[in-house]
């Protein structure tokens, strides 16, 4: 065959095919394995009663460039406003706190859990990931992560290698991720266990400002996180697939929350002083994650369990189940239930006793204390033409912090030191 003839083959063949099949001879692109861009978007409202409200928008795009060379990118923007628990305990009388910036004060009424209502932050997050096959049966994936907010920057890179065995029924993977976080809070980071100065204790503004500045460290601090993950995915049968992951996470650096404090109380339970918290600067955590998905005749059952343990003595158990029922060919509902339980960190103290010396580390943040939490949710999805999907999700999330066994002196017995946190999430997603 001549070269110039070759170029005409496809055209002539198309014409011949069309007259054979009696189909109109429209010039059509030959189908390729490359698929069009797929976009996923979602907007989430998260609202805690009397506390934080957040709105988060996500736009993600992915494309298979053919032969499983896949790029995916994601932009997340969220805005957060509202109040967050400071760690200080409620008192029978009103309390006054200095704002974290040192500029101004706020009052907390008698019997109320102290909340700092100055939170207002906008965050932008970018993710990019590239996945492709590498010689036979291997797949590599690599990605970057960037998250930036006013006082916080997080950057991460990850890489993952997976190998398929047994006709792709078994996949073994190993991945590594390194993250660098930098924090530079407004007003500086508090000196560990420094006492919170109050304006009323000082004669002049200048004297107060000097005292406040003395509790602050200038500049930023950072934290390094190294994650290792080993995964095993196994197809069990035509309906069942199972995954088992082990993760090791080593964190080194600044993990103290600059906005959290501890109340120092006397034997009557009355606050004598407020100290900024101090957490260890290293943490090693192990994760085991197991997930099973089962294809029902018209739906999917998804069950996962996660166990984590770390050298802060926090052990956690998480059970998550999603059951998808296809109502019709084009719609489904998916109830969601999640149960979470964690034990307290060894340095967790709901408050400090004035008579006792300072521990090496302490935090009254309920998030490192003992708690249980559950989530109940329901999702409704509609499959539209051309692979578009519109879905709505509503979830109720409740955290129930618990006393891990601290005696409650005096007035603290009558106050709610472990208030529940109740939140509602509402989400709309659209895929096109």
Partner 1 sequence: MKLRRLLVIVLTLSLSACASVGVKPWERDLLAKDEMSLNADPLDLALDDHIYFSKEAASGGRAFAGGGCGCN
Partner 2 sequence: MSQTPDLPEIELSWQGDHYCGRFSAMASPCELLIDSNDRKLAEHLTTLAFYEAKRIEHKYSRYLTGNTCHRINHSAGKGAALDEETYKLLCFADSCFSLSDGLFDITSGVLRRAWKFDGSDRLPAPQQVKSLLPLIGWQKIEFDANRILMPEGFELDFGGIGKEYAVDAVAKKCAELVPHCSMLVNFGGDIQVTRARRNKQCWHIGIENPDSDGRANRLLRIAHGGLATSGDARRFLYKDGVRYSHILNPKTGYPVSHAPRSVTVASEHCVQAGILATLALLQGKNAESFLTQQGVTHWIYR
Site residues, partner 2 (CB under 8 A)? 1, 5-10, 12-17, 19-23, 28, 30-33, 35, 38, 66, 167-168, 295, 297-298, 326, 329-330, 383-389
Q: Which residue has 């993600």 as its token pair? A: 60
Q: Does residue 168 interact with partner 1 by CB under 8 A?
A: yes
Q: What are phi and psi of 168, to 5 degrees?
A: 65, 15
Six-digit token string for 244: 């088992």
Q: Among residues 242 and 382, whose Cβ is nearest to partner 2?
A: 382
Which residue, 305, 331, 333, 329, is CA-closest to 319?
A: 305
Rule CB under 8 A: choose which of 70, 88, 314, 362 binds partner 1: 314
Q: Among residues 119 and 202, whose Cβ is nearest to partner 1?
A: 119
- Alpha helix (H) residue ranges in 120-228: 205-214
Region of 100-108, 201-209, 232-240, 265-273 interacting with partner 1 (CB under 8 A) = 232-240
Q: Among residues 228 and 296, whose Cβ is nearest to partner 2?
A: 296
Six-digit token string for 28: 């059509």
- The DSSP line for 96-143 is EEE-TTSS-EEEE-TTPPPEEEEEEEEEEEEEEEEEEEETTTEEEEEE
Six-digit token string for 116: 């700092």
Nearest-approach distance from CB 164 to partner 1, in angstroms = 11
Could you give the count of Cα atoms lying within 13 Å of 216 in the half-sphere of its Cβ? 21
Rule CB under 8 A: choose which of 145, 163, 199, 422 binds partner 1: 145
Nearest-approach distance from CB 236 to partner 1, in angstroms = 5
Q: Are 226 and 250 within 8 A, CB to CB?
A: yes
Rule CB under 8 A: choose which of 14, 53, 132, 308 binds partner 1: 308
Q: Could you tell which of partner 1, partner 2, none binds residue 360, using a CB distance below 5 to 8 A set by kind? A: none
3-state secondary structure of 261: strand
Q: Are 225 and 179 within 8 A, CB to CB?
A: yes
Q: Is 218 exposed, middle or buried (0-12, 13-18, 19+ CB in 10 A)?
A: exposed
Q: Among residues 175 and 188, whose Cβ is nearest to partner 1?
A: 175
CA distance 287 to 43: 29
Q: Among residues 285 and 349, whose Cβ is nearest to partner 1?
A: 285
Q: Which residue has 């978007």 as its token pair? A: 41
Q: Could you tell which of partner 2, partner 1, none binds residue 145, using a CB distance below 5 to 8 A set by kind? A: partner 1
Annotate each residue in 252-281 with x if it binds partner 1 (CB under 8 A) or - if it does not, as one string. Answer: -----x-x----------------------
Q: How many chain residues interact with partner 1 (CB under 8 A)? A: 96
Nearest-approach distance from CB 303 to partner 2, in angstroms = 19
Q: Could you tell which of partner 2, partner 1, none binds residue 5, using a CB distance below 5 to 8 A set by kind? A: partner 2
Q: Which of residues 339-398 bind partner 1 (CB under 8 A)?
A: 340, 342, 345, 367-368, 371, 373, 379, 393, 397
Instruction: Work out the number of other CB atoms within 10 angstroms of the CB of residue 277.
Output: 24
Six-digit token string for 62: 């992915």
CA distance 271 to 264: 6
Q: Does residue 56 interact with partner 1 by CB under 8 A?
A: yes
Q: Does residue 115 interact with partner 1 by CB under 8 A?
A: no
Nearest-approach distance from CB 386 to partner 2, in angstroms = 5
Residue 120 CA to its chain's centroid (Å): 18
Rule CB under 8 A: choose which of 131, 154, 256, 271 binds partner 1: 154
């Amino acid at each position: 065959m001549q070269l110039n003839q070759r170029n005409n083959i496809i055209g002539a063949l198309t014409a011949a095919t069309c007259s054979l099949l009696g189909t109109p001879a429209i010039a059509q692109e030959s189908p390729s394995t490359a698929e069009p861009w797929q976009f996923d978007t979602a907007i989430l409202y998260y609202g805690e009663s009397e506390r934080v409200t957040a709105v988060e928008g996500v736009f993600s795009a992915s494309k298979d460039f053919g032969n499983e060379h896949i790029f995916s990118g994601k932009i997340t923007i969220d805005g957060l406003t509202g109040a967050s628990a400071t760690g200080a305990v409620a008192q029978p009388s009103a309390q006054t706190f200095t704002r974290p910036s040192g500029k101004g004060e706020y009052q907390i009424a008698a019997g109320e859990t102290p909340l700092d209502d100055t939170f207002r932050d906008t965050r932008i997050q970018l993710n990019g990931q590239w996945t492709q096959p590498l010689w036979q049966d291997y797949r590599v994936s690599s990605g970057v992560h960037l998250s930036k907010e006013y006082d916080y920057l997080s950057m991460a890179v990850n890489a993952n290698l997976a190998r398929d065995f047994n006709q792709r029924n078994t996949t073994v993977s190993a991945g590594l991720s390194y993250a660098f976080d930098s924090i530079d809070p407004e007003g500086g980071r508090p000196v560990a266990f420094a006492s919170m100065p109050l304006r009323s204790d000082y004669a002049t503004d200048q004297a107060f400002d000097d005292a406040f500045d003395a509790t602050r460290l200038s500049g930023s601090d950072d934290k390094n996180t190294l994650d290792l993950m080993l995964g095993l995915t196994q197809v069990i049968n035509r309906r069942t697939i199972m995954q088992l992951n082990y993760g090791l996470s080593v964190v080194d650096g600044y993990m103290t929350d600059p906005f959290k404090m501890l109340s120092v109380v006397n034997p009557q339970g009355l606050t004598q002083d407020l100290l900024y918290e101090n957490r260890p600067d290293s943490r090693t955590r192990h994760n085991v994650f197991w997930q099973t998905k089962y294809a029902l005749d018209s739906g999917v059952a998804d069950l996962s369990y996660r166990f984590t343990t770390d050298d802060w003595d926090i052990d956690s158990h998480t059970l998550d189940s999603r059951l998808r029922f296809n109502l019709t060919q084009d719609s489904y509902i998916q109830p969601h239930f999640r149960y979470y339980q964690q034990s307290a960190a060894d340095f967790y103290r709901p408050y400090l006793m004035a008579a006792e010396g300072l521990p090496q580390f302490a935090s009254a943040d309920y998030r490192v204390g003992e708690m249980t939490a559950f989530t109940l949710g329901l999702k409704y999805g509609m499959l539209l033409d051309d692979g578009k999907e519109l879905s709505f999700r509503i979830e109720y999330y409740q955290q129930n912090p618990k006393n891990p066994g601290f005696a409650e002196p005096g007035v603290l017995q009558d106050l709610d030191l472990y208030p529940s946190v109740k939140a509602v999430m509402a989400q709309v997603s659209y895929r096109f």
